[in-house]
Amino acid sequence: MSIDMNSTNDIIGREDIDDFEAILSVVGTEDADGRHAVHSVYDTIFTWDYEKGTRPKLEKLYEKAKKAQWNGQTDLPWDTDVDQEKLIVENAVATGGFTAGIDLTGTPAEKWSEKEWIQFGVESQNWTLSQFLHGEQGALVCTAKIVESVPWIDAKYYAATQVMDEARHVEVFAKYLDDKCSGHYPINAHLRMLLDDIIADSRWDMTYLGMQIMVEGLALAAFGFMAQMTQDPLLKQLLRYVMADEARHVAFGVLSLQEYYQGLNAAELRERQEFAFEAAVRMRDRFLQQEVWDRMGIDPKAIVPLIQQAPERAQFQALLFSKIVPNCRKLGLLDAADGWLRTKFTELGVIEFESWEDTGEEYDSFAAVPSKDQVAS
Ligand SMILES: [Fe+2]
Ligand SMILES: [Fe+2]
């Protein structure tokens, strides 16, 4: 069987993954009516096999999820005072200054005073949390779709708990942004392209691959960074609660796809590899924060390429893939079809993480969600 192979250009719309001119030319727009419709045609599957526990690992996850539910309204210390600017300054002190050692000589930000840098920090946080919020809504709708489309009862049960988890995540990020931050951003164009592709695909496993493995794998790493960095006890706790849920969600993806991919042929696996690569590039592109530079009055094309050259930046971005790569390996995606995805992840500079722990079992170590009584004491 010959494998129908797409070029990098076919998959991501450009030949060079680091073509900043092309990346930054993709600019988001706000939807005038406050809505965005994505058309999707897929089969909703009824199963008449109600035997619970046919897939014991999924059943275990489902039982765990039922006990790990929390209430975003009452379990978090919402009365905490949050001074965004003060937190930005404290954070800059802790991390070695606003530019984190990156030389901005010759760029429009060269002459920025502390005032502009604080403003940038505030905008950057508003932007980051806004993208988390939009991503959470993506997870909400994707997982609702999985409830319908996945053929196994244990997976339908588990996915139903995830739908509730994601509703709670949307709720708490929206509340934090509204009550504690100073502004919102619309969805980043690269993130939107990715979510649209995931939702529009008719194959149930692609929803899992795009959302549970790629988007949530990256979210788990990104939330972990922010939870570690922030000095705000409310945000720290919010993120820890969310991460405990996300670790289960990624495990749900790994455990479900592991079984399904064993039955796929090389051509079918190659399609999954291409989808994983596309998702990786879209998420990498979204981290350029182009809308923040725009709002600060600086053309992103005049500064982003320089920032991307900084080794610290490359290292941070690579670490965001530290959950994704081992999970792709566990699914057999790295080495299927002559190792195509291994080559692509090598080009992206993230292959070094392949031997890190995968998230198929790791979720127990995240399950640090204290009970309501423990939080109160
Ligand atoms: Fe979530
Ligand atoms: Fe999730």
> For residues 135 and 58, what is the distance between their CA atoms, to the nearest angstrom?
24
Q: Which ligand is nearest to the CA of 223?
A: 1
pTM over 0.85: yes
**What pLDDT was estimated at residue 3?**
58
**Cα 165 to averaged position of ligand 1 atoms, centre (Å):** 7
Of the ligands numbered here, which is closest to the C-alpha atom of 359?
A: 2
CA of 252 to the centre of ligand 1 (A): 13
The arrangement of secondary structure in 115-371, i.e. its CATH architecture, is: Up-down Bundle (1.20)
Task: Give residue 266 CA to ligand 1 midpoint distance, Å.
Answer: 32
CA–centroid distance, 166 to ligand 2, in Å, is 6
Of 69, 211, 220, nearest in space to 147 by CA: 211
**HEC profile of the chain:** CCCCCCCHHHHHCCCCCCCHHHHHHCCCCCCCCCCCCCCCCCCCCCCCCCCCCCCHHHHHHHHHHHHCCCCCCCCCCCCCCCCHHHHHHHHHHHCCCCCCCCCCCCCCCCCCCHHHHHHHHHHHHHHHHHHHHHHHHHHHHHHHHHHHHCCCHHHHHHHHHHHHHHHHHHHHHHHHHHHHCCCCCCCCHHHHHHHHHHHHCCCHHHHHHHHHHHHHHHHHHHHHHHHHHCCCHHHHHHHHHHHHHHHHHHHHHHHHHHHHHCCCCHHHHHHHHHHHHHHHHHHHHHCCCHHHHHHCCCCHHHCHHHHHHCHHHHHHHHHCCCCHHHHHHHCCCCCHHHHHHHHHHHHCCCHHHHHCCCCCCCHHHHCCCCCHHHHHC
pLDDT in the model for residue 105: 87
Look up residue 78 and give its amino acid. W
Domain ranges in the chain are 115-371
Give the position of tokens 């005032």. 115
Q: Measured in angstroms, how far is the CA atom of residue 50 from the centroid of ligand 2?
A: 25
Digits of tens for pLDDT over the chain (377 positions)? 455 678 999 999 998 988 888 899 888 888 889 999 999 999 999 999 999 999 999 999 999 999 999 999 999 999 999 999 999 999 888 887 887 778 888 888 999 999 999 999 999 999 999 999 999 999 999 999 999 999 999 999 999 999 999 999 999 999 999 999 999 999 999 999 999 999 999 999 999 999 999 999 999 999 999 999 999 999 999 999 999 999 999 999 999 999 999 999 999 999 999 999 999 999 999 989 999 999 999 999 999 988 888 887 888 888 999 999 999 999 999 999 899 999 999 999 999 999 898 888 778 777 655 444 444 43
* Ligand closest in space to the Cα of 246: 2
